[in-house]
Amino acid sequence: MKKLFLYIFLGLMICYGAYADPVEYIDDWHLLDNTEANTLEIKDSNGLIKLTVQDKNLILTAKKQTSSIYQFNEDKFDIYLITKENNLNVIYIFNHTTKTLLAANINDSDIVFNEIPWEFGSLMTIFTNCNKVKEWRGEEIKLNYFLTKFNYKQRPKKYKCGYLMFGGRCTLVYDPKTNEYGIGDKMIISNDFNYVGDIDEIGYLYKDKQNSKCELYNKISI
């Protein structure tokens, strides 16, 4: 019986340690640089859909027609072309200067961009596939989930996690140079714009296009 209690105690200590040990902050946002592209393409039943930017105009080529569908100002933007589960093709435009997100449905006859309510910091990338990542405590990263950059201390309380998605306390993410704690900044947002959780490093999920647990959409950055 004493051995049983000892094993239980050791098991609890191991589990506690996995959640309570300080987590060193890893600044690996640069890993997303290789998702930047000059052209975005998707093939569907109607053929090739292509997006490019020319002279601050967003150019769409679809159904053998080419047209300008959006004009950019001097702000900083990222553009994504994604496919949803219902085969709906959508363009996302994220304005890093104003922290706003626009979306347009390509399948519509008229391309109209609508602003999506957004309070999740800066959109950095969108996942296409994370099937190689095991579910952790009921949490997982699915098709078209977002990775955003939002400093933990600057968030509303409702977006402050207790534990990271793959282990460790959110408040114990720290900078070894300054000894500052609670500095995580990597949020996962669902495809229907709900907060899912935090990760401590991008490299665990994505290193490059050949050797990664997850796949990411390309983006045009201007």
Task: Give the residue with greater pLDDT, 136 vs 118.
Answer: 118
**Within a domain: 168:** yes
Q: Which domain holds residue 203?
A: 23-221
**Within a domain: 3:** no
**Within a domain: 12:** no
SS3 15: helix
Q: Which value, to the nearest 10 degrees, does the dihedral of the CA atoms of residues 22, 26, 27, 33 take? A: -150
**Within a domain: 145:** yes
**Within a domain: 6:** no
Above 50 in pLDDT, residue 2?
Answer: no
Above 90 in pLDDT, residue 139?
Answer: no
Region 80-107: mean pLDDT is 95
Above 80 in pLDDT, residue 98?
Answer: yes
| pLDDT of amino acid 136 | 58
**Within a domain: 1:** no
The whole-angstrom separation of Cα 43 and Cα 195 is 30
| pLDDT of amino acid 40 | 98
Q: Residue 7 — very low, low, confident or very high, per pLDDT cuts 50/70/90?
A: very low
The total of structural domains in the chain comes to 1
Residue entry with tokens 């994505």? 206
**Within a domain: 10:** no
| pLDDT of amino acid 135 | 61
Largest CA distance in the chain: 77
**Within a domain: 205:** yes
Region 38-67: mean pLDDT is 93
| pLDDT of amino acid 109 | 72
Nearest partner of 106 among 49, 65, 151, judged by Cα: 49
pTM of the full structure: 0.88
Say which amino acid occupies 138: G
Per DSSP, 111 falls in state -
The whole-angstrom separation of Cα 40 and Cα 57 is 14
Region 21-34: mean pLDDT is 94
Q: What is the pLDDT of residues 149-202, one digit of tens each?
A: 999 999 999 999 999 998 899 999 999 999 999 999 999 999 999 999 999 999
SS3 9: helix
Nearest partner of 217 among 53, 37, 73, judged by Cα: 37
The whole-angstrom separation of Cα 109 and Cα 107 is 6
> b/e for 114-130, b at 16 or more Cβ within 10 A?
eeeebebbbbbbbbeeb
